[in-house]
Amino acid sequence: MYVKRRWSQAPSARLLAGSAGTPLVVRLCPACRRRRTGVPHGYVHVEGGFFVTHRSDLEHLLHNEAARAREDNPLAQVMSWRHFKDGSLLIATSTEHLAQRLGHALEKAYDGAVQYGFSHENKMAHVWWKR
């Protein structure tokens, strides 16, 4: 819901928009459009022996960090989680900042080696974390 020049997922936003006296117009937010088209703006690659043995803990951390990011910016969403046979994980995000934030959260909580790659031409971020 777009209320007072800001996208919001809070239930109170619907009440506030409904009480404004203007009819509600349903529109897709930019993150939802990206999800429909399948074009992410960030990737987080998580791999290594530590990830394989502590998968549930790391995924729990990533889910919580993504939820906190969505509270700050409703456009920052995880678009997909892909698990691979080699034990690695690839997360696609709707914003490059969310990919960066997830990589920083992994580095802060579990150390490991993190690398950031940016493409400024198409606003794409790649984050690799390994331990």
The type of residue at 108 is K
- Is the CB of residue 103 less than 8 Å from the CB of residue 49? no
Residue 25, pLDDT score = 64
Residue 120, pLDDT score = 79
Residue extents of the structural domains in the chain: 39-130
| Structure confidence by residue, pLDDT tens digits, 106-126 | 999 999 999 999 987 888 999
| Structure confidence by residue, pLDDT tens digits, 41-96 | 999 999 999 999 999 999 999 999 999 998 888 889 899 999 999 999 999 999 99
d(CA 9, CA 104): 25
Residue 30, pLDDT score = 73
Residue 65 DSSP symbol: H
Q: Which residues pair with 7 in a beta bridge?
A: 2
For the segment 16-44, the average pLDDT, to the nearest whole number, is 73
Residue 71, pLDDT score = 85
pLDDT for residue 10 is more than 90: no
Is the entire prediction scored with pTM above 0.85? no
